[in-house]
Structure 1
Amino acid sequence: QTARQRRLRDALMPLIYSVRLPLSAVAFVLTALLLISGSPLSAAECTPDNRAAQRPNIIMILCDDLGWGDLGIHGHPIIRTPHIDGLARDGLRFTDFYSAAPVCSPSRVGLMTGRSPNRAGVYDWIPPAGKPRSDAREQVHMRREEVTIPQLLKQAGYATCMAGKWHCNSAFNSPEQPQPGDAGFDHWLATQNNAGPSHENPVNYVRNGEEVGRIEGYSCQIAATEVITWVGQHRDAHPEQPFFAYLAFHEPHEPVASPPELVEMYRPHCISDDQAQFFANVHNVDLAVGKVVDALQELKVRDNTLIVFSADNGPETLNRYRTANRSWGVTSHLRGMKLHTHDGGFHVAGIMNWPNHIEAGQVCQQPASALDLLPTFAELAGAELTDGRRFDGISLAEFFQSKQFPERSQPLVWVYYNAINDARVAMRFGPWKVLARLGGGTVPKYENLTPQSLAQVSASPLTDFEVYRVDRDPGETMNLSGHDDPAVQEICERLRSEYQQLVKDFPAWTPTVAP
């Protein structure tokens, strides 16, 4: 199709679906209009089977604070995750998959936009809006001008839904800032941050702008049921229209609460009740994933649904604060935890499953990222990225067909000014991982950037490099920065260059109160 034809198709799809035309009529109308607009589609391109094969339903499942080592497929000795493991065994598993940040809000904004969250002005987790602060943190949100996955897919004719944790703004369910609906979701059931008061019987869900009060059950099951119900209703009303669902579990982020029968099952294998609570929490997530997969089968949409499973960042450190008393997540062989710029902070699960399109048992050892999901989904959906915006990911769609991983010409770069470890900047490029401090450690930690702090971090040089060959040393134990190796010097210079270019795009938030 020409660009003109694609634009016409994308404009017409929502109208066609709104009047519930049968699939044969959809094909006829599109063919006729595209013939008028220019060169025609072939008959093969208009057949229902080809259209279904080219435009999958997509379900993005995101866990909260799930460690790399918390899944059975990654070797956890106790936690049972057969449904998630099954998605991996029957599909594609990434050994080196990365989230967009080592903490929740920027990670989610990066996933939604396909861009470094720093370009969107989201530098750390977003607290609920409150009194004005000297660092303007109460203002932070994913700005309206950002282009998101659901917006792109809606333009391509998809229906969209989300359920679970939003955490992309401070003024939640308020006209002051964009909400999930403004970001492109037709239907949403969400919380600003954590499920409260815990995962059990949460009281803070909002559905399409309306507070719903206490909901009986556990958050992951509630969110899964919402998506299943929506998919079923959508299939009945618009059986030919593809859909995108974003299922953002709160689990296993604290405050952890799990079904008693699962806790009891794990208690004999644990050193404490708190540990059993966490293990049961991950198990409950697995049950929710299994429930979704089973429902897709029952609704007869599983075969053309791409399921992607990942996490927003690494696991919380046990007892780092009071309510982290049940945070027993592990990173396995990886160094660091959530809030770290070593791999334990953002090296997360990456699983893709699409029957008849992704062969079972595939393992990809090339670095991939949540930033790749927007361009991947856009290509599969036939959506165009045409506004000249800089995206930081690459499309993985060709891997599904050729099994050849697309070349990544640009490295993955993370900038987190509130990291627990000393390095504020990190980069993965090929087999190399390189980290650096800012200004010899003289730059303070920042949770947000104002014009003043942005000027400081922009002017501060990168120092104290750490360099690792993570293909040989995934635990980042052997720092090669002192080696007289041209490749080491080259990768350090590359990080300097990438950081200098990236920081030029960082927006600042202007405080309304004096420091």
Structure 2
Amino acid sequence: MKCYFLSITVLVFSMLFGSCSSENASQPNIVVILCDDLGYGDLSSFGHPVIKTPNLDQMANDGIKFTNCYSAAPVCSPSRAGLLTGRSPNKAGIYDFIPGVKKSEDCRDMVHLQEHEKTIPAMLKSVGYTTCLSGKWHCSSRFNSDQQPKPDYFGFDYWFSTHNNAAPSHENPNNFVRNGEKVGVLKGFSCQLVVDEAIHWLKNKQKNKPFYLQVCFHEPHEPIASPKDMVDSYLPKSENENQALYFANVANMDKAVGRLIQYLKDSGCDENTLIFFTSDNGPETLNRYAKAKRSYGSPGDLKGMKLWTNEAGFRVPGILYWMGQKTYKGSSDAVISSLDLLPTFAQLSGAELPNRILDGESIVPLIKTGEQKRTKPLIWAFYNALNEQQVAMRSGDWKILCKLKNDTSYIPRLNNIYKGNEKLVKEAHMVDFELYNMKNDWEESENVLTQYPEVFERLKAQFEDEYRKLLDESFVWVRKEE
């Protein structure tokens, strides 16, 4: 009788919540949580003095807190493309954020993640995973149009997304699309709605398959809106109501993460589910544009902000928590990147890597032992940088940056590379180098180029070689009529 009762209980539980067991028990479920414009210093576990993020702090305590975690770019669209493909977004032709469709000379209206790109969800589907995207997409100029690939083309079985920001704000958004169908006005705040949809999918997904779930929050990108009770709780510790709105926005996102983790535990997914949390780039600069009046994100001690090639542009919070599995636990200063996710997930799932040169590398040894020596440097070429250095590279404990110059003038800030400016970019020279020791000076306060001439010459040669290889593979946009 007891065994019969136990069997019924297990059956009912499985019917209610779905099964997290898979036919291949060695394959982990994988959840990637990506924030939008979250600064390096915006979580309490990363030093924020006011914002409380207990759920993410607990993740960091139970897993690995990465203090040298980098995004693929200092702005959203290229960063997201890099995460999905494991390659520099320049190779996909995504150099800056993707606007809506408005024809321009520089072909920016054409930019999208192209059909030939190989992505994490497509790779994982090949070894039996079921996949879902819930949240921001921002990898095409013609969102939800048959003229450009939709998220399902790149391996997402189920998708619930917006082109860019939640509109008109995070509260009661009206621009979500579910599997190609417009949803209409939704009641609630974006991060909670995104987690609601993720949980709904988890409950109804195909059983006995491992899953890949990509949760892409809009928070804390403008236009910011936050629950009144949370805003009121932060007002006494804020400079003004706008700052309280920002603080509450991050806290509300943390609450949504907590709800997702609790569901994973309650549904039995805590035996073998790897969760990776990060941000697409650094924090927005307050009042950089008219609607950025609530952008009180913190870069911590780092130099710069979003759209900079200094550290705060793309050094972001990184937390990995592998539920139910033994991993290294604690803080790690190993250099990692969102580019590393694809090769890492390939190794963990048994999937074959795409037949192309990747810019990321597997961090499985680091996850399991806490130790790994990176073999590939990280390089960024962001031609619309707000600071003057458009190219940067992190190699070991060192970071080197430079400006780009043609014969008599520095190249201007550019949003895209197309036939009309290809020569301008590819014939530019790397000049005005800067060198920083990131182990001793992650604030980039002292250019030590002259103090370490041998290090500089070695890194300069590596930098020039890596940038030339990146240029050779960078995609150039051309209109058909050209």
State the TM-score, normalizing by the size of structure 2. Answer: 0.93
1:80 is matched with: 52
2:403 is matched with: 437
2:128 is matched with: 157
Q: How far apart are the structure 2 equivalents of 1:313 and 1:97?
A: 11
Q: How far apart are the structure 2 equivalents of 1:181 and 1:501?
A: 31
Aligned counterpart for 1:408 among listed residues 358, 374, 388: 374
Per-residue Cα deviation, 1:349-392 (whole angstroms, up to 9, x for no partner): 111001342447422211100000000111111100152x0110
2:233 is matched with: 265
Alignment of 1:365-376 (within 5 A): 365-376=333-344
Q: How far apart are the structure 2 equivalents of 1:111 and 1:233?
A: 26
User: Which amino acid counterpart does residue 233 of structure 1 have in structure 2?
Assistant: N
Q: How far apart are the structure 2 equivalents of 1:346 and 1:479?
A: 19
Aligned counterpart for 1:459 among listed residues 427, 443, 449: 427
Deviation at 1:466, TM superposition (A): 0.8
Per-residue Cα deviation, 1:35-56 (whole angstroms, up to 9, x for no partner): xxxxxxxxxxxxx89942x211
Larger mean Cα displacement after TM superposition, 173-182 or 474-483: 474-483
Alignment of 1:484-499 (within 5 A): 485-499=453-467
User: Which amino acid counterpart does residue 100 of structure 2 have in structure 1?
Assistant: P
Q: How far apart are the structure 2 equivalents of 1:352 and 1:358?
A: 12
Per-residue Cα deviation, 1:295-339 (whole angstroms, up to 9, x for no partner): 111111122110000000000000111110000001110000000
Larger mean Cα displacement after TM superposition, 390-399 or 353-362: 353-362
Per-residue Cα deviation, 1:186-214 (whole angstroms, up to 9, x for no partner): 00000000000000000000000000000
Deviation at 1:481, TM superposition (A): 1.9
2:274 is matched with: 306
Alignment of 1:126-137 (within 5 A): 126-130=98-102, 132-137=103-108
User: Which amino acid counterpart does residue 424 of structure 1 have in structure 2?
Assistant: Q
Alignment of 1:215-364 (within 5 A): 215-234=186-205, 237-238=206-207, 240-359=208-327, 361-364=329-332
Q: Does the 8 Å contact 1:200/1:216 carry over to 2?
A: yes
Q: How far apart are the structure 2 equivalents of 1:426 and 1:480?
A: 15
Q: How far apart are the structure 2 equivalents of 1:402 and 1:338?
A: 32
Q: How far apart are the structure 2 equivalents of 1:509 and 1:465?
A: 29
Q: Does the 8 Å contact 1:89/1:360 carry over to 2?
A: no
User: Which amino acid counterpart does residue 195 of structure 2 have in structure 1?
Assistant: A
2:79 is matched with: 107
1:396 is matched with: 363
- Give the secondary structure class of the aligned counterpart of 2:167: coil
Deviation at 1:423, TM superposition (A): 0.3
Deviation at 1:496, TM superposition (A): 1.1
- Give the secondary structure class of the aligned counterpart of 1:223: helix
**Any stretches of 5+ residues in structure 1 without a counterpart?**
1-21, 23-47
Deviation at 1:408, TM superposition (A): 2.1
- Give the secondary structure class of the aligned counterpart of 1:217: coil
Measured at CA, do residues 50 and 399 of structure 1 come closer, stay the same or move farther in structure 2, by a change above 3 Å? farther
Question: Does 2:141 correspond to 1:175?
Answer: no
Q: How far apart are the structure 1 equivalents of 2:328 and 2:241?
A: 37
User: Which amino acid counterpart does residue 359 of structure 2 have in structure 1?
Assistant: D
Q: Does the 8 Å contact 1:60/1:309 carry over to 2?
A: yes
Percent identity of the aligned residues?
A: 46
Q: Does the 8 Å contact 2:69/2:336 carry over to 1?
A: yes
- Give the secondary structure class of the aligned counterpart of 2:229: helix
Question: Does 2:29 correspond to 1:57?
Answer: yes
Q: Does the 8 Å contact 1:57/1:305 carry over to 2?
A: yes
Question: Does 2:98 correspond to 1:98?
Answer: no
2:96 is matched with: 124
Q: Does the 8 Å contact 1:90/1:360 carry over to 2?
A: no
Q: Does the 8 Å contact 1:134/1:513 carry over to 2?
A: no
**Any stretches of 5+ residues in structure 2 without a counterpart?**
1-13, 15-20
Q: How far apart are the structure 1 equivalents of 2:326 and 2:93?
A: 35
Q: How far apart are the structure 1 equivalents of 2:158 and 2:327?
A: 32
Per-residue Cα deviation, 1:86-145 (whole angstroms, up to 9, x for no partner): 101100111100000000000000000000000000000000123x21000000001110
Q: Does the 8 Å contact 2:328/2:366 carry over to 1?
A: no
Aligned counterpart for 1:210 among listed residues 171, 178, 181: 181
Q: Does the 8 Å contact 1:122/1:142 carry over to 2?
A: yes
User: Which amino acid counterpart does residue 394 of structure 1 have in structure 2?
Assistant: E
Per-residue Cα deviation, 1:246-299 (whole angstroms, up to 9, x for no partner): 000000000000000100010111110000000000000000000000011111
Q: How far apart are the structure 2 equivalents of 1:507 and 1:150?
A: 23
- CA RMSD, Structure 1 to Structure 2 (Å): 1.6
Q: How far apart are the structure 2 equivalents of 1:404 and 1:75?
A: 24
- Give the secondary structure class of the aligned counterpart of 2:134: strand
User: Which amino acid counterpart does residue 255 of structure 2 have in structure 1?
Assistant: L
Q: How far apart are the structure 2 equivalents of 1:160 and 1:433?
A: 36
Q: How far apart are the structure 1 equivalents of 2:328 and 2:452?
A: 43
User: Which amino acid counterpart does residue 391 of structure 1 have in structure 2?
Assistant: L
**Number of aligned pairs?**
461
Aligned counterpart for 2:165 among listed residues 185, 188, 194: 194
Q: Does the 8 Å contact 2:140/2:163 carry over to 1?
A: yes
User: Which amino acid counterpart does residue 31 of structure 2 have in structure 1?
Assistant: I
Q: Does the 8 Å contact 1:135/1:511 carry over to 2?
A: no
User: Which amino acid counterpart does residue 430 of structure 1 have in structure 2?
Assistant: G
2:392 is matched with: 426
Q: Which has the higher helix share?
A: 1
